[in-house]
Amino acid sequence: MRLKAIAAAVLVAGLGVGVAIAAEDGTHDARSALMKKVGGAAGAMAAIAKGEKPYDAAVVKASLTTISETAKVFPDQFKPGTEKGDKAASPKIWEDPADFKARADKLSADADKLLAQLPADAAGVGAAMKTLGANCGACHEKFRIKTE
């Protein structure tokens, strides 16, 4: 079980890197690849919180690290002049880039805080997901356009 979870985490990480290399900066594909990495990491933690997977400190640590590092570089994908052709990214990102960046920074900072005091069991991971999830939802509501 434990090995399976690690293998899955490694696989997800590997796929993320492959997609990121294939996509050009500032495109929907590049942005989408980064957010899929964040989504994969959050999914791995949610599975532990829900009891679908056993608690595994290594998976929690890897997931939080992925979220922290990805949130730090995500706003770089929204430079001025790259607003065209991405139906999922709201024009509001380019109207208020400071707020967008502040929200990404907040997610990264929250993940860093959790890394410094790693959730020690499934209930702790559940509480961590609430903290992190508030960031996801708030930013999506303001800056993401649902395309499906």
Instruction: Kindly tell me which of 6 and 32 has the beta carbon lying closer to ligand HEC.
Output: 32
CB of 3 to ligand HEC, least distance (A): 25
CB of 103 to ligand HEC, least distance (A): 4
11, HSE (Cβ side, Cα atoms, 13 Å): 7
CB of 31 to ligand HEC, least distance (A): 4
In the complex, the residues that contact ligand HEC under the rule CB under 6 A are 28, 31-32, 35-36, 38-39, 42, 67, 86, 88-89, 100, 103-104, 107, 132, 135-136, 139-140, 143-144
Instruction: Kindly tell me which of 61 and 140 has the beta carbon lying closer to ligand HEC.
Output: 140
Query: Residue 129 to residues 55, 65, 93: CA-CA distances in angstroms?
Result: 14, 14, 25
The pair of three-digit structure tokens given for residue 82, joined into one six-digit string: 């790259």
Nearest to 106 by CA among 126, 76, 133: 133
